[in-house]
Chains A and B, each alone.
Chain A
């Protein structure tokens, strides 16, 4: 601690330069925190998936609809407890940026298949009596200030029988997913109402979600379901929940590789920026470092002082950047693109990188300070 005033004042020798360098590092680590945080969240995607849930989609493409009549055939496969449709109305609320998906299903069955989705029983009962009712995720209710009883107009790309693509739903209840609140980002509406009201692709579903009795038999059940529709016009692919989610992620591309590449490029640039700042700072202080050596600081002490200065610069800025990312994370979570908190693993990784960056950028000026010859430095040579 006794060296702190010495290091601290050296750091602020040129205030503007230090502030700009700090800001650069803060922004870089903010970016690191957000990207790696989202990456970690995506990597953990499906980790808490339920092995007793299966998804039946078209073998050709996940966006190719399957005949709704498949539901009855799937139900008859031994080991399957419940099946329901998954359909949807992609649209937006008021502004195009407010993207919302209204997921159409047999609502009671859906909540039975997803027991971790919490809904009040009376609200579940209410939707079965309200054809155009909707049960809405709590984050959406908060984001738009909705309350039960409100009517929600959605502008969509799904045309109704009357030619309009505007759909109205009455909020009859809310649902929450305590472990993953950010996933409760949809409206859940009645499939029967949706299917009767739409003009195109009636009697079809995007997918079927299936609950099985014995997860250890999932592989056989998947094969049995797909076998039902072999050589039909709409062949299926059935997967357990984890495989299904990972397959969806792969459609985005290798997110991990992309985020790592961006972060690596940013940090590599930062290495030169910080190194340059430290080098300039040490060069300007050559006579002062010579005085330190004159009054008894050893070569090693001066080296350590420069490295501590570099660590302080990078550590402070990285902490601020990561704190910023942690503060932004809940908002990203509300949009459904991240978990509820910045993972601790990312914070530890970030701080470790900050230390490595500090040492790598501090070593050349520290080496210069160590090799400094007192009489030459004092003489301005």
Chain B
């Protein structure tokens, strides 16, 4: 399997006030196409930072990042935005939906920057909402949906542009167990049936158990790796 993500010597530092903090220490990582990777570790270990770098919404201070066949560390801001639109879908803990837009308008957002016609956009949006089981809630606004349903809309938004990679930051962190299981079922289905590569940051070992591989980060370093047999 070819690598979807290839990181070599990736370093990330933050400046907080007068302090300069190194979050990631010369990190090397390979993620194969079709993997469902769970990234675990204590708070402040650098999980979200690593996810942001792979998703192209943050920049490394050093090192080489090749994601979905593109050396993203070399891309300019505008090129990186276009790259994100084509290759990465994002799912966040708190859904991050536009509160005044309907579910279908939220899902359509990544397609607005493409050259697809209105009809094509509508088809893709309907397909994505069908996939997450919310076709009948297309015209509902986020406030009219439950937390689990909002997260499903966020997953539909992440999938609508058919990206290579899904990056999920604590996707079940704001949900009860039952809802969380449903979301994990959905992610697993997307990984198995659509072959999407998924990187999921989580604190939850039960959620991590759904992944095909778990990685542990501590103080900006990968400390171990194991391959699980996901149920």
Contacts and interface: CB of A to CB of B under 8 A. Distances in A.
Interface of A: 2-3, 5-6, 9-10, 12-13, 287-288, 291-301, 374-375, 378
Contact of B98 (A12, A288, A293): A288
Contacts of A12: 100
B96 A297 contact: no
Contacts of A3: 112
Interface stretch (B26-34, B77-85, B187-195, B214-222): B77-85
B20 to A, nearest CB: 16
B101 A291 contact: no
A191 B86 CA distance: 88
Interface in B147-193: 157, 161
A295 B157 contact: yes
B100 A295 contact: no
A5 B84 contact: no
Nearest to A301: B113
Given A296-B84, A298-B81, A5 B105 contact: yes
A283 B55 CA distance: 25
B57 interface: yes
Given A6-B101, A297-B113, A375 B58 contact: yes
Nearest to B98: A288
Contact of A295 (B58, B84, B105): B84
Contact of B78 (A13, A288, A291, A299): A299
B9 interface: no
Contacts of B3: none
Contacts of A378: 57, 92, 96
Contacts of A295: 84-85, 90, 109-110, 113, 157
A26 B23 CA distance: 53
Contacts of B18: none
Nearest to B82: A296
Given A295-B84, A298-B77, A298-B81, A6 B112 contact: yes
Interface string B108-124: 01101100001001000
A194 to B, nearest CB: 70
Contact of B100 (A10, A293, A297, A301): A10
Nearest to B77: A299
B52 interface: yes
A224 B22 CA distance: 97
A293 B81 CA distance: 7
A371 to B, nearest CB: 11
Given A5-B101, A10-B100, A300 B78 contact: yes
Nearest to A285: B98
A291 B121 CA distance: 19
A291 B91 CA distance: 11
Contacts of B92: 378
Contacts of A6: 98, 101, 105, 109, 112
A374 B56 CA distance: 10
Contacts of B82: 296, 298
A323 B176 CA distance: 55
Nearest to A288: B98
Given A2-B118, A13-B100, A292 B58 contact: no
Given A5-B105, A375-B52, A375-B57, A291 B98 contact: yes
